Amino acid sequence: MSASSKPSASQKETGKPSLKPNDLEAHFMPFTPQRSFKRKPRMLVGAKGMYYYSDDGREVLDASAGLWCVNAGHNHPKIVEAIRKQAGELDYAPNFAFAHPTAFKAASMLCAEMPGDIEHVFFSNSGSESVDTAVKIALAYWRARGQGTKTKIISRERAYHGVNICGVSLGGLQFNRKAFSGALMPNIDYLPHTHNLAKNAFSKGQPEWGAELANDLENLVTLHDPSNIAAVIVEPVAGSTGVLVPPKGYLEKLQAICKKHDILLIFDEVITGWGRLGKATAAERFNIIPDILTSAKGINSGTVPMGATFIRKHIYDAFMTGGEFGVEFAHGYTYSGHPLACAAAIATLEVYREEKLFENAEKLEKKWQDALHSLKGAPHVIDIRNIGLMGAVELDPGKRDYPNEMSRTMDVFDKMFFEQDIVMRFTGNVLAMSPPLIVNEGQIDQIVSRLRKALESVK
Ligand SMILES: Cc1ncc(COP(=O)(O)O)c(C=O)c1O
């Protein structure tokens, strides 16, 4: 072997010529511009409470609860201990034709937090899977009821329902859909989204204008006929597409139209659940009981992958027919109701209750609103939106040569991390925030004052 073809030490370790241990190449990252990221990574190596710790030794305030999920704060000792204990006792047990008690305990405790007669839950591993499950339940429900023509799903523009083919098909973002258009599900139609800068910019909480947008559902029902429509799915507050707060009366109208035409209403509460709006669910906050409610993220404070699809009693009951040795619902994941996820969910729920974290979110909503809206007039800001502990600051994009250079919003996001020691989210021209529910007033002030500095520092 010549000197030049001799494998390096790292090649010997990995056995593959181009891979080195611990370098950044192998990981094909989700939703990330990886070439620029890998040149200048934002690397998080530890976390505690409201803070992350970066690989260059900085304490970074988490203004987004990770990805809208770490509602109880990072590395909560009680949740960590519950996961550790469960891993030592029962690492894995199938829930197909076997079971383990932790799944039943978690199911009962979680269902007890749901409004009305939402009394059953189907477990999965992510928000995307909870949405897939919801759609399959809706279709199978109508079939079980002898109304198998009800197969169409009505979703909404600017919706985000995850990244499986079902979620992308329901989703209302061109950017997420265009590469997959040939594979998207048929039989979906879309309501208009509710975001309107001309009418609602700088609304505090729910905008006054826009309830009438729900009337478009009547038009779609007329077009397709109720006998063909299985369900309407909406995020009560659209999160990932930029915190789009429902106008006053909008969700109520959607519910009334669904009821009138015997169409199921699905709330995708992957973000809005578990205290984000000051209650266990947005359904409770808005006083609307959907037929199906999807959940993930805050269900166990983001500690172990988990999704959950909650359903009302009459839906569950519709499946419980036929011979009792027949499988009632041909669906399930290897990790549905995984012991670690369930143990984490139980401990998380106890933390939410013991530390009154939903109440803290409720108490701080006004402070959060006032602090965010104090950024009105800061450079580039064209809208500020908020509800619960969710907030968005929308920027004028300016004339950047994106994606050859950073967009202005990405630039602010980047400066927030490297110069202001804050983790937040951005999507398009929107900076989005959703701090853990343990946040305090001083930390809210820090988030906002540092955001002002970052806004002032970009052109
Ligand atoms: C409303 C909603 N549904 C579904 C999802 C998908 O969840 P996951 O990323 O866990 O698959 C998300 C993720 O942000 C979401 O916000």
As a whole number of angstroms, the distance between CA 401 and CA 407 comes to 7
Ligand 1 binding pocket includes 268 (Cβ within 6 Å): yes
| Whether residue 127 sits in one domain with residue 89 | yes
The residues, any chain, with a CB within 8 Å of residue 25's CB and separated by 6 or more, are 18, 19, 38
Ligand 1 binding pocket includes 271 (Cβ within 6 Å): yes
For residue 5, is pLDDT > 50?
Answer: no
| Whether residue 241 sits in one domain with residue 322 | yes
Rounded average pLDDT over 405-427: 98
| Whether residue 103 sits in one domain with residue 86 | yes
Q: What is the pLDDT of residue 13?
A: 63
Q: Which of 271, 294, 295, 300 to mutate to test the pocket of ligand 1 (most atoms within 8 A of CB)?
A: 271
What SS3 state is found at 457? Answer: helix
Residue 384 CA, distance from chain mean position:
20
Find the range with the poorest average confidence among 3-12, 202-211, 232-241, 397-406. Answer: 3-12
Both tokens assigned to 15: 């056995």
Q: What is the 3-state secondary structure (H, E, C) of 128-179?
A: HHHHHHHHHHHHHHHHHCCCCCCCEEEEECCCCCCCCHHHHHHCCCHHHHHH
Both tokens assigned to 391: 């907030």
Residue with CA closest to ligand 1 atom 12: 162
Q: What pLDDT digit, counting tens, does each position of 334-385 carry?
A: 999 999 999 999 999 999 999 999 999 999 999 999 999 999 999 999 999 9
Q: What is the pLDDT of residue 3?
A: 39
* 8 is a domain residue: no
Sheet holding 307-312, edge to edge: 118-124, 307-312, 292-295, 264-268, 229-234, 152-156, 188-191
Entry pTM: 0.96
- Using DSSP, how many helices (H) and how many strands (E) does the chain show? 17, 15
What SS3 state is found at 346? Answer: helix
- Ligand 1: distance of its center to the CA of 112 in Å? 23
| Whether residue 362 sits in one domain with residue 342 | no
* 246 is a domain residue: yes
* 439 is a domain residue: yes
Ligand 1 binding pocket includes 160 (Cβ within 6 Å): yes
| Whether residue 86 sits in one domain with residue 233 | yes
| Whether residue 259 sits in one domain with residue 381 | no
Q: What is the pLDDT of residue 35?
A: 95
Find the range with the poorest average confidence among 174-178, 282-286, 364-368, 427-431. Answer: 174-178
Q: Which of 32, 67, 133, 161 to mutate to test the pocket of ligand 1 (most atoms within 8 A of CB)?
A: 161
| Whether residue 388 sits in one domain with residue 326 | no
Helices 101-112 and 339-354: crossing angle in degrees, nearest 10, is 40
Rounded average pLDDT over 176-184: 94
As a whole number of angstroms, the distance between CA 108 and CA 101 comes to 11
Residue 87 CA, distance from chain mean position:
26
**CA contacts within 13 A on the Cβ side of 60:** 29
What SS3 state is found at 426? Answer: strand
Q: Which atom of ligand 1 is nearest to the CA of 128?
A: 11
Q: Which atom of ligand 1 is nearest to the CA of 294?
A: 3
- pLDDT band for position 16 (cuts 50, 70, 90): confident
| Whether residue 247 sits in one domain with residue 372 | no
- Ligand 1: distance of its center to the CA of 129 in Å? 9
| Whether residue 242 sits in one domain with residue 100 | yes
Rounded average pLDDT over 394-401: 96
Domain boundary among 326, 354, 382: 354
Q: Which of 69, 124, 156, 160 to mutate to test the pocket of ligand 1 (most atoms within 8 A of CB)?
A: 160
Ligand 1 binding pocket includes 296 (Cβ within 6 Å): yes
| Whether residue 178 sits in one domain with residue 91 | yes
Question: Which burial class, exposed, middle or buried, applies to 136 when counting CB atoms under 10 A from its CB (0-12, 13-18, 19+)?
Answer: middle
Rounded average pLDDT over 186-204: 97
- pLDDT band for position 6 (cuts 50, 70, 90): low
Residue 36 CA, distance from chain mean position:
25
Q: What pLDDT digit, counting tens, does each position of 105-145 carry?
A: 999 999 999 999 999 999 999 999 999 999 999 999 999 99
* 419 is a domain residue: yes
Beta strands, E only, 17-129: 44-48, 51-54, 59-62, 118-124
Domain total in the chain: 2
CATH number of the domain encompassing residue 346 = 3.40.640.10
Ligand 1 binding pocket includes 239 (Cβ within 6 Å): yes
| Whether residue 180 sits in one domain with residue 161 | yes
Q: Which atom of ligand 1 is nearest to the CA of 127?
A: 7
- pLDDT band for position 2 (cuts 50, 70, 90): very low
Strand pairing class (422-423; 59-62): parallel
Domain extent, residue 63, equals 42-72+357-457
Domain boundary among 354, 372, 406: 354
- Ligand 1: distance of its center to the CA of 234 in Å? 12
* 35 is a domain residue: no
- pLDDT band for position 309 (cuts 50, 70, 90): very high
| Whether residue 84 sits in one domain with residue 213 | yes
- pLDDT band for position 1 (cuts 50, 70, 90): very low
Ligand 1 binding pocket includes 302 (Cβ within 6 Å): no
Q: What is the pLDDT of residue 9?
A: 52
CATH number of the domain encompassing residue 392 = 3.90.1150.10
As a whole number of angstroms, the distance between CA 371 and CA 363 comes to 14
